[in-house]
Structure 1
Amino acid sequence: MLTAPQLHLIKATVPVLKQHGTTITSHFYRRMFARHPELQNVFNLTHQQTGAQSRSLAASVLAYAEFLDQPEFLSGMVARIAHKHASLDVLAEHYPIVGENLLAAIQEVLGDAATPEILDAWGAAYGILADIMIGVEKNLYQAAPWEGFKAFQVVQKVQESAQIVSLHLKPLDGTSIAPFKPGQYVSVRLKTEHMPYTQIRQYSLSDAPGKDTLRISVKRELAPQGSFDLQDGLLSNLLHDHIQVGDALDVHAPMGDFVLQERGRPVVLLAGGVGITPLLSMAKAAKTSEVHLLQFVMKKADHTFRDELSALQVENPQVQVTVFYTEVGADELLGIDHQDTGLISTEKLLKHVPLDADFYYCGPAGFMQAVESILDDLQVPAARRFFEAFSPTQDFKVGEVQLQG
């Protein structure tokens, strides 16, 4: 329990966190990994190299400090982080390690400005947050259809487009697959002789629940030719080039709070690039009478799930798919290969979808920012917006997070 003076001290440190937050969190990760190198088997080392994880942690700490006395505004952030932690098998015993190194990083970066009183206040605040996270994650583990990582066999591999390949996965132990929620993801764990640490990545489930396999669809990310350093795209390139039918992968139970919630409104699904993967699962599973899926791709070679989406519209007339190409080739026909052109805009949204809908969107950072700006302009309430980012969140919009999933 925080005392009133401790709460005051934490609130007073918010400007310092804004100024030094990323420096503190970057130092924290370096410090923790030096003392506990085994944790590099859990954390995404690519995000460590790019600084994305440090920025995300700084944003979450800042949000926690700002809204510590208004916990209702933190529930969405807590849920999203808890699902990610559960997908990595983060355990209760990890929290004291994180707390010790985070407080030490604050002291080492801020020096004399980090008084014993401030450190005590942050220690108490961290203890409260750790207890909350441990409790939420315990519930996720108890509800999961299997414990930890489980061996699955690749039973089919399909090239969906120039950049995306699908892997169909079946449990090696012969058990059936429990239902998951449309929009959720699984973690895949890989280790090769060229990698110093096991690495884990999350991939959205791209098919509807109820099948005898799980399907993930993986975009190939750029990586140096022939390099097995921990660079962007290492695991995606391994899955594209080295994992074949018959191989086994360690797969965690489905997690994620970006899930379809049918609430009696039309559903609008906005997909940028590989963001189509969780939204396709939603489109296939939706029972509502009106589903609008807008898919934005660069060109025909990048048009993932083209035939599958065409078949979906025939099978489920309530689903309307509109495909946009940014680059149109001379032999590509409007109305056949695609239905519109260009990037997402307010005009395109007004043209193709109803505004009294629930909006789900997923894609690269620029696409997500554009959608947010458009929905702001159209005054779509936060309660009707749901989204997933395929990278660590750099800015928690805390006042809205509790409504996002």
Structure 2
Amino acid sequence: MLSEQSAATVRATLPAVGAALGEITERFYDGLFAAHPELLRDLFNRGNQAAGTQRQALAGSIAAFAAYLVDRPDERPDVMLNRIAHKHASLGVAPDQYRVVHQHLFAAIVEVLGDAVTAEVAAAWDEVYWLMANALIAIEKRLYTESGQTGWRTWTVAGRVEETADVATFQLRPADDGPVPDFLPGQYVSVRVELPDGARQIRQYSLSAAPGSPLRQISVKRVQDDAGPDGEVSSHLHAQVHEGDTVELSAPYGDLVLEHTDQPLVLASAGIGVTPMIAMLEQLARTGHTAPVTVVHADRSPVTHALRGDHEAFAAKLPDTAVHFWYEQEAPETARTGRVDLSTVPVASGTRAYLCGPVPFMRAVRTQLLDKGVAPADIHYEVFGPDLWLAQG
């Protein structure tokens, strides 16, 4: 809870701080990485840093947290905090790193805002920071305890399947032949690899098979971007990691999970966002879900639709399922051409929806679901990469 005095100061200064957050976070990361280059090398996603998306996400989350504290002084934005904490836990973020961040963040604030940062203003924003940091530290501590795994664990590639020209599925087993811990459909693991320059970069990949198998399965799309650098880790996995090789994995994390429910469901995905939906569908088939399930997917073409066979097969095992695929090109008779349009798709009352894909796709689908009467609280989403949508909302 933010103190009354600090709440008044934050409310008064939030417009100015918010307007300068872009420059503040840029100065913050420049100072942080100059003092601690190992963080950029081995913890932060270098691709997101180069693109500026991580800076936008940090700025947005700080502004959103501060605004929430001011508008609802007796509450805490647990949805946002849980999502950030899951990502931090998958990276192995430690409590002492929050002090390092604090040092460089507040140095950047003073550098950008200058004399406007009075002792009163500094104290108020310091309170905001530590309310957020201590909440994250507590959640992350609980997540580490629940996972039962400290640090990284080595896994061996037991099999590799080329799903499409740009998507490969890696089937993994523990290198120590120990037990495979359970997870929830929709969760992800962090994968850490050593790149040619010695950097140990980390990326998150959704588990693309339901719990219960002696193997873990991730399906990785090779990121190729004409406007910027190709994905370092995805390119490495595609080019260098084959059956018999090893990778390092975190414990499973992620707050977008399939909950046991008798509600009707919508599982909507686009592109590689299909991966958590496959795990959810498989789990629904295993547990005998009987309520209606509406499967929605958008892709460039059937050829680029990764795990399409699994998508159709698991849906077919459910007693009340409607499958709707949209392709930008080469749509077969059983699919549609163009963007997802739910205007003619029945959506049952009381539906719970799970979305995963590019943000524009999820915004569009969410709007259409709201128009069909789906409650906002029943629409859940996952973003691959920095969560700019959450930060802005």
- Give 1:375 shift: 2.8
Aligned 8 A contact 1:154 1:244 in 2: yes
1:240 and 2:234 correspond: no
Aligned 8 A contact 1:25 1:105 in 2: yes
**Deviates further, 186-195 or 208-217:** 186-195
Q: 2:341 aligns with which of 322, 335, 345?
A: 345
Other-structure match for 1:322: 324
- Give 1:363 shift: 0.5
Aligned 8 A contact 2:203 2:233 in 1: yes
Taking the aligned partners of 1:363 and 1:201, their CA distance within structure 2 comes to: 16
- Give 1:263 shift: 3.0
- Seen in structure 2, the aligned counterparts of structure 1 residues 345 and 311 have a Cα distance that, compared at 3 Å, is closer
Other-structure match for 1:227: none
Other-structure match for 2:204: 202
Unaligned runs of 5+ residues in structure 2 are none
Taking the aligned partners of 2:311 and 2:195, their CA distance within structure 1 comes to: 36
Q: 1:88 aligns with which of 88, 91, 98?
A: 91
Other-structure match for 2:17: 17
Tell me the alpha carbon deviations over residues 139-169 of structure 1, each in whole angstroms, 9 at most, x when there is no partner. Answer: 0000004221100001100011222110011
1:175 and 2:169 correspond: no
Tell me the alpha carbon deviations over residues 239-274 of structure 1, each in whole angstroms, 9 at most, x when there is no partner. Answer: 111111111000000000000123321011001011
Other-structure match for 1:213: 215
- Seen in structure 2, the aligned counterparts of structure 1 residues 2 and 306 have a Cα distance that, compared at 3 Å, is closer
Taking the aligned partners of 1:296 and 1:223, their CA distance within structure 2 comes to: 20
Paired AA for residue 68 in structure 1: L
- Give 1:319 shift: 4.1
Aligned 8 A contact 1:182 1:285 in 2: yes
**Structure 1 segment 141-180 matched on structure 2, within 5 A:** 141-180=144-183
1:112 and 2:115 correspond: yes
Identity %: 37
- Give 1:378 shift: 3.2
Paired AA for residue 330 in structure 2: V
Other-structure match for 2:384: 390
Q: 1:311 aligns with which of 313, 337, 360?
A: 313
Tell me the alpha carbon deviations over residues 11-64 of structure 1, each in whole angstroms, 9 at most, x when there is no partner. Answer: 212111331111111111111111112212111111111110110011111011
Aligned 8 A contact 1:181 1:260 in 2: yes
- Give 1:397 shift: 6.8
1:3 and 2:3 correspond: yes
Normalising by structure 1, report the TM-score.
0.90
Taking the aligned partners of 1:2 and 1:304, their CA distance within structure 2 comes to: 47
- Give 1:364 shift: 1.2
Normalising by structure 2, report the TM-score.
0.93
SS in 1 for 2:387: coil
Q: CA RMSD in A?
A: 2.0
Aligned 8 A contact 1:74 1:398 in 2: no
Taking the aligned partners of 1:8 and 1:232, their CA distance within structure 2 comes to: 45
Tell me the alpha carbon deviations over residues 160-189 of structure 1, each in whole angstroms, 9 at most, x when there is no partner. Answer: 122211001100000121210000000000
Aligned 8 A contact 1:6 1:121 in 2: yes
Taking the aligned partners of 1:169 and 1:319, their CA distance within structure 2 comes to: 30
- Give 1:311 shift: 2.6
Unaligned runs of 5+ residues in structure 1 are 225-229, 400-405
